[in-house]
Amino acid sequence: MEQVQTFLAMGGYGIFVWPAFALTAVILIGLLVTTLHRLHALQNDLSRLHDPRPAAAPAHMPEARP
Amino acid sequence: MSLFANVVARDLRLALRQRGDAVMVVLFFVLAAMLFPFAVGPEPNLLARLAAGVIWVTALLAVLLSLERLFLADFEDGSLELLVLAPGPLSLTVLAKVLAHWLTTGLPLIAAAPLIALLYNMDVSALPVLALAMLLGTPSLSLTGAVGAALTLGARRGGVLVPLLVLPLYIPVLIFGVAAIDATLAGLSARPHLLFLAAIFLVMLVVAPLAAAAALRQAVE
Amino acid sequence: MNMHRFANPGRFVRLAERILPWSGALAVLALAAGLYLSLFVSPADYQQGDSVRIMYVHVPAAWMALFVYTVIAAASASALIWRHPLADLVARASAPVGAGFTFLALATGSLWGKPMWGTWWVWDARLTSVLVLFFLYLGHMALSNAFDDQSRGNRAAAVLALVGFVNVPIIKFSVDWWSTLHQPASVMRLDGPTIHPSMLWPLLVMAVGFKLYYVSIMLLRVKSEVMAARLRARSMAAVEAT
């Protein structure tokens, strides 16, 4: 328990170190989420339009979520 | 070369006919500079220290305000298409328009700057350097501004976009323009700063007409 | 909008789909390893204490801010010169990511500066140039979205990116010059040229993670752009058919 506390305190710099890492996480994950969101929305729109060339509109992409 | 002279003469004629434009630029310049003493107080030493910065910042903003009329009227009445289709390099035509713009904004600003220097209690010995720095710096402002004005033709909210595109690119001119005057006031040589202003002018003289011409072609396509 | 323009992007999408699982997995791996190394393994600095750990996100973000702008400029050049149909999309897809990295560099720099310098912001040469770079990104994004015709926006943004790229060294140089004229009394350098290996490794792993993250996100976003272009072309064809 004490170890966790000293780790979180970061030698007194915790209030600067943790927000920096948290902000990094927020921005990296936020960009990823908005990107994936737009991609899925576009995939839905494309598949909803009637498409005579099935190869042009891939139905499902499992690897879109790394 | 005759097209170049024609464009310059035409734009000058237009600017003189609507005499308001050049006068408004100078009026804005003086008015905006007049606000600072109210904001920071009338203490003469403080104002003398701020003078160079205030002159340059307000000059940047005054040029920014005048950029819209560089291409917009031509774009709206269709004469821009004629200019783009005209024989000869389009970048030369852009240069002609920039020259006309500078003659009706940069030059009046240089003429008005000593007045503000006087109001701000700036040392008279720095006036020649101020004029020289503005003579080297303001053409770069017109050139860079022409790129921004050409890129935003036909854009939604074109008016608010131009400052966002252009102001970051104005920073070097601001830095060396102020530094030249500060150096003179501190008894140092203004030469390196003036040389940098000249170098920036030369770079923009090459880059800006090419970029603005590309942007104009996109606008009339 | 003729279909041959999308033949090439179609191949790109297939290539991207093959790369993405690898780049994504490696990015997660490198970022996780970097996080572990920077928070647990690397030592506290003898001067800056544990606050030095902010460096492991700040410096990679700042590197990426510059790298992504270079990518945008290169893509813009090939879009304007060779009219490569994908280059526009790469530039367009990269700009918000680069802006995100630039913002991150500024914000983490500020969080690092508070304990080190005592203020959230100093007009230090590096911070100021990164701030200007952030505005260049914002201008690029605003311009590329300012037109009803998407391709006009892309081409205008490409011209702006190239003009900006020519100006970046001039701005950097002038800001350095300006900052040596107005040197604050005692500014401590955040990162010296010499860095101990125990700190270099976490930094490099983190930097690799950031780069792989950018590659993955960029591929996903270009894929989105290709799809959006297809969608526009198809709805236009539908309008013409009726």
Provide the number of CB pairs (under 8 Å) joining chain B to chain C.
Answer: 85
DSSP C153-168: HHHHHHHHHHHHHHHH
What Cα–Cα distance (Å) separates residue B18 from each residue in B6, B15, B22? 18, 5, 9
**pLDDT level of residue C224 (50, 70, 90 thresholds):** very high
Contacts of C119 (CB under 8 A, 6+ apart): C113
Spatial contact of B109 and B76, defined as CB atoms under 8 Å apart:
no
- The reported pLDDT for the residue numbered A13 is 81
Question: Which residues on adjacent β-strands are paired with residue C152?
Answer: none
* Mean pLDDT confidence for A11-24: 86
**CA B166: distance to chain centroid?**
11
Domain ranges within chain B, ordered by starting residue: 2-220
For chain B, first and last CA: distance in Å? 25
Residue A58: list chain C partners with CB under 8 A: 13, 17
The two tokens of residue C17 are 């789909």
The residue type found at C183 is: Q
Angle at B198 between CA B196 and CA B202, to 5 degrees: 115
**pLDDT level of residue C6 (50, 70, 90 thresholds):** very low
Torsion of CA C115, C120, C126, C130, to 10 degrees: 130
Specify if A8 maps to a domain: no
Residue C159: list chain B partners with CB under 8 A: 147, 151, 211, 214-215, 218
Cross-chain residue pair C54–A63, CB shorter than 8 Å: no
- The reported pLDDT for the residue numbered C7 is 46
- The reported pLDDT for the residue numbered C2 is 42
CA-based nearest distance B105→chain C, Å: 23
Q: Which of A20, A28, A61 has its CB closest to that of C213? A: A28
Cross-chain residue pair A24–C44, CB shorter than 8 Å: no
d(CA C195, CA C202): 12
Cross-chain residue pair C54–A66, CB shorter than 8 Å: no
- The reported pLDDT for the residue numbered C184 is 52
Residue with tokens 């013409």: C240
Contacts of A60 (CB under 8 A, 6+ apart): none
Specify if A6 maps to a domain: no
d(CA B111, CA B115): 8
Query: How does pLDDT run across A26-50, given as a tens digit for each residue?
Result: 999 999 999 999 999 998 888 887 5
Q: Centre a 10 Å sphere on the Cβ of residue C38 and count the other Cβ atoms it contains.
A: 23
CA-based nearest distance C135→chain B, Å: 7
Spatial contact of C188 and C99, defined as CB atoms under 8 Å apart:
no
Q: Which of C146, C113, A59 is nearest to B157 (CA)?
A: C146
Question: Which residues on adjacent β-strands are paired with residue C45?
Answer: C49
Q: Which of C137, C59, C22, C26 is nearest to C91 (CA)?
A: C137
From the number of C-beta atoms within 10 Å of its C-beta (0-12, 13-18, 19+), residue A28 rates as buried
Spatial contact of C25 and A66, defined as CB atoms under 8 Å apart:
yes
Contacts of B73 (CB under 8 A, 6+ apart): B14
DSSP B78-92: THHHHHHHSSS-HHH
d(CA B183, CA B193): 9
Residue with tokens 């942007």: B215
Which stretches does DSSP call E strand in C120-241? Answer: none
Cross-chain residue pair C61–A24, CB shorter than 8 Å: yes
Cross-chain residue pair C136–B168, CB shorter than 8 Å: yes
Q: Centre a 10 Å sphere on the Cβ of residue C68 and count the other Cβ atoms it contains.
A: 25
Specify if A41 maps to a domain: yes
Helix (H) or strand (E) holding C58: helix C55-81
Q: Centre a 10 Å sphere on the Cβ of residue C126 and count the other Cβ atoms it contains.
A: 18
Q: List the single residue in C with minimal CA-CA distance to A18.
A: C54
Mean pLDDT of chain C: 85
The percent of residues in chain C predicted with pLDDT above 90, rounded, is 45
Check residues A13 and C164 and name the one with the higher pLDDT: C164
Residue A62: list chain C partners with CB under 8 A: none
CA-based nearest distance A1→chain C, Å: 16
Query: How does pLDDT run across C173-206, given as a tens digit for each residue?
Result: 888 888 777 655 444 455 554 667 778 888 999 9
Which value does ipTM take for this structure?
Answer: 0.89
Q: Domain of A62?
A: 15-48+57-66
Q: At what angle do helices C197-241 and C85-117 cross, to 10 degrees?
A: 140
Specify if A4 maps to a domain: no
Q: Which of B144, B164, B218 has its CB closest to that of C156? A: B218
Cross-chain residue pair C164–B179, CB shorter than 8 Å: no
- The reported pLDDT for the residue numbered C3 is 41
Note whether C touches B: 3 CB pairs or more under 8 A.
yes
Q: Which of B26, B67, B7, B58 is nearest to B208 (CA)?
A: B67
Query: How does pLDDT run across B97-147, given as a tens digit for each residue?
Result: 999 999 999 999 999 999 999 999 888 889 999 999 999 999 999 999 999
Check residues C114 and B18 and name the one with the higher pLDDT: C114
- Mark out chain C residues that contact chain B at CB-CB < 8 A: 80, 132, 135-136, 138-139, 142-143, 146-148, 152-153, 155-156, 159-160, 162-164, 166-167, 170-171, 173-175, 177-178, 181
Buried b (16+ CB within 10 A) or exposed e, C193-205: eeeeeebebbbbb
The percent of residues in chain B predicted with pLDDT above 70, rounded, is 99
Question: Which residues on adjacent β-strands are paired with residue C49?
Answer: C45
Contacts of C62 (CB under 8 A, 6+ apart): C101, C105, C109, C126, C130
Subunits with 3+ C-beta pairs closer than 8 A to C: A, B
What Cα–Cα distance (Å) separates residue B141 from each residue in B13, B67, B154, C97, C204? 22, 10, 22, 30, 41
- The reported pLDDT for the residue numbered C90 is 93
Cross-chain residue pair B171–C147, CB shorter than 8 Å: no
Picking from C128, C170, C179, C182 by the largest number of B CB atoms within 10 A of its own CB, the best residue to mutate is C170
Total domains in the fold of chain A:
1
3-state helix, strand, coil in chain B (%, to 5): 85, 0, 15
- The reported pLDDT for the residue numbered C12 is 83
The two tokens of residue A13 are 């710099």
DSSP A12-63: GTHHHHHHHHHHHHHHHHHHHHHHHHHHHHHHHHHHHS--S-GGGS-S--GG
Specify if A7 maps to a domain: no
